[in-house]
């Protein structure tokens, strides 16, 4: 008997059904290659009322994305056998993508997400003067945005995005990959870049991303929205859009890591939100925990600082070290540890010194014949 697998498919026709429901269908493994084939098998052989979207069948058009066991996937790019193996005999649940209005069964309405994207104005408004012949783009520049350029607007990332889940304004992972892509494109004029980035911050809420990395995981085209988002945030800070908690957090990281080799989690509430951390510190102390208010400076710190400066000289950061802040951190460290950041070096010197004297006394003793 032919091997079969059970598809458990979300069904909903708003014109007739009061509520969505699930229906199970048996699909023989050797008659289908992909999940899309399996959906066709259901529609053609078992239930002609099933609706789903497709076009190219080759992972190009982006229309066939659905949610499979909770994860967004392109139906045409998903090997059916792999799904069957991974599900270990349990039915494979197929549902419409999350966070988009259902139209019928697996078909969703993309319009709202498209409209959001449009408000960001992610397109090329060229610098003047426009060259008479083609643009010449150096390969290093192409390298920066060849990944985001591969986006096929399938909304797989949107359907698994933690930020979309909790912030209805959030424009979606793919949208910020586009912002990044045009923000580093040398053909686009500066004012337009600025406008796009501002839109990403205000209309798109780019600071709501939680950096879960799920968008990278689900993207069928190798786009890495979570990382593009980090770049958009940095570019925004560089353009002067600094009045965001996220920028203050970033400044904390840059300055404290330079100053001490570590961040200082207990200084973050104050530096980002102006909130005094003392009540929290006291809670821990009441429970008997030892609390260090400043991290211990690390050995090798001076070499580490050199490395940071060296790197920043070669590749300019989107946000510079604030050396006034670093001085204040140095002072805190001095107060708490009663020593400056060179302590370790001083310690080493002291060791060598005592070592030297012990050898000296020994020699002297030998000289005078003492034991």
Partner 1 sequence: MKQVGFYQGCCFQGPDAHMFDMLKKVFADLGVDIKLVERTTCCGGNTIDEANKFLVYSINARNIALAEAEGLDLLVSCNTCYMVLAKTKHALDNDPQLREEINKLLAEEGLEYKGTAKIWHILPYLVEEVGVDTIRKKVKRPLKGWKVATYYGCHIKYPKEVAVVDSENPSGLEELVEALGAEPVKDYEGKDACCGYHAYYTNKPVALKKVVRAPEGAKKAGAEMLVTPCPLCFKAQDIYQDMVENAPRVPSVYLPELLAYALGYDPKEAGLAYHIIPVDKVTVNAPASS
Hey, which residues between 294 and 323 contact ligand SF4 (CB under 6 A)?
none
From residue 28, how far is each of 22, 31, 42, 58, 87 by CA, in Å? 19, 6, 10, 22, 15
**CB distance 156 to 71 below 8 Å:** no
Using rule CB under 6 A, residue 364 touches ligand SF4: no
CB of 74 to ligand FES, least distance (A): 5
Sign for the CA dihedral angle at 20, 22, 28, 30 comes to positive
Could you say which of partner 1, ligand FES, ligand SF4, none residue 131 binds, taking C-beta under 5 to 8 angstroms by partner kind?
none
Residue 76 is classified by DSSP as G
Nearest distance, CB of residue 200 and ligand SF4, angstroms: 12
State the burial class of residue 227 (Cβ atoms within 10 Å of its Cβ: 0-12, 13-18, 19+): middle
CA-angle at 244, arms to 238 and 247, nearest 5°: 50
C-alpha to C-alpha distance for 135 and 126, rounded to whole angstroms: 10
* Closest to partner 1 by CB, 58 or 289: 289
Under a CB-based contact definition with an 8 Å cutoff, are residues 221 and 151 in contact? yes
Give the range of 18-26, 161-169, 272-280, 300-308 binding ligand SF4 by CB under 6 A. Answer: 161-169
CB closer to ligand FES, 34 vs 260: 34
Instruction: Output the smallest distance, CB 18 to partner 1, in A.
Output: 24
d(CA 16, CA 51): 14
- What secondary structure letter does DSSP report for 188? B
Q: Which of 39, 200, 223, 333 binds ligand SF4 (CB under 6 A)?
A: 223
For residues 65 and 237, which CB has a smaller minimum distance to partner 1 in the complex? 237
Q: Identify what 57 binds: ligand SF4, partner 1, ligand FES, none; CB under 5 to 8 Å per kind.
A: ligand FES
Selection from ligand SF4, partner 1, ligand FES, none that 121 binds (CB < 5 to 8 A by kind) is none
Provide, rounded to whole angstroms, the least separation between the CB of residue 271 and partner 1. 9
Residue 180 found at the interface with ligand SF4 (CB under 6 A) = no
Q: Is 211 in the site for ligand SF4 (CB under 6 A)?
A: yes
Burial of 194 (0-12, 13-18, 19+ CB in 10 A): middle
Please say which residue, 180 or 256, places its beta carbon nearer to ligand SF4.
Answer: 180
Closer to ligand FES by CB, 74 or 235: give it.
Answer: 74
Residue among 11, 1, 2 nearest 39 (CA): 11
């Amino acid at each position: 008997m032919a091997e079969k697998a059970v598809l458990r498919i979300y069904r909903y026709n708003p014109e007739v059904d009061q509520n969505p429901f699930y229906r199970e269908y048996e699909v023989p493994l050797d008659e289908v290659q992909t999940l899309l084939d399996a959906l066709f098998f259901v529609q053609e052989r078992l239930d002609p009322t099933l609706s789903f979207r497709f076009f190219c069948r080759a992972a190009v058009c982006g229309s066939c994305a659905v949610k499979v066991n909770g994860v967004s996937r392109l139906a045409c790019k998903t090997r059916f056998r792999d799904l069957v193996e991974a599900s270990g005999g349990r039915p494979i649940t197929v549902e419409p993508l999350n966070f988009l209005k259902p139209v019928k069964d697996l078909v969703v309405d993309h319009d709202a997400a498209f409209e959001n994207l449009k408000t960001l104005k992610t397109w090329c408004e060229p610098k003047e003067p426009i060259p008479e012949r083609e643009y010449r783009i150096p390969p290093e520049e192409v390298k920066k945005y060849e990944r985001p350029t591969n986006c096929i607007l399938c909304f797989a990332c949107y359907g698994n995005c933690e930020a979309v889940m909790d912030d209805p304004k959030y424009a979606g992972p793919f949208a910020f990959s586009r912002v990044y892509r045009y923000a580093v494109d040398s053909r686009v004029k500066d004012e337009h870049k600025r406008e796009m980035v501002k839109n990403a911050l205000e209309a798109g809420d780019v600071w709501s991303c939680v950096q879960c990395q799920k968008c990278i995981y689900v993207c069928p085209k190798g786009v890495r929205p979570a990382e593009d988002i980090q770049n958009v945030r940095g570019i925004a800070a560089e353009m002067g859009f600094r009045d965001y908690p996220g920028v203050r957090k970033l400044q904390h990281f840059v300055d404290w890591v330079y100053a001490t080799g570590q961040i200082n989690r207990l200084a973050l509430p104050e530096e980002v939100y102006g909130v005094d951390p003392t009540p929290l510190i006291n809670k821990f102390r009441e429970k008997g925990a030892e609390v260090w208010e400043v991290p211990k400076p690390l050995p090798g710190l001076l070499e580490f600082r050199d490395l940071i400066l060296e790197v920043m000289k070669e590749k300019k950061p989107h946000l510079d070290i604030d050396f006034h802040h670093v001085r204040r951190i140095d002072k805190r460290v001095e107060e708490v540890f009663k020593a400056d950041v060179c302590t370790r070096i001083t310690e080493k010197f002291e060791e060598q010194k005592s070592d030297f004297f012990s050898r000296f006394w020994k020699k002297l003793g030998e000289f005078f014949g003492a034991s």
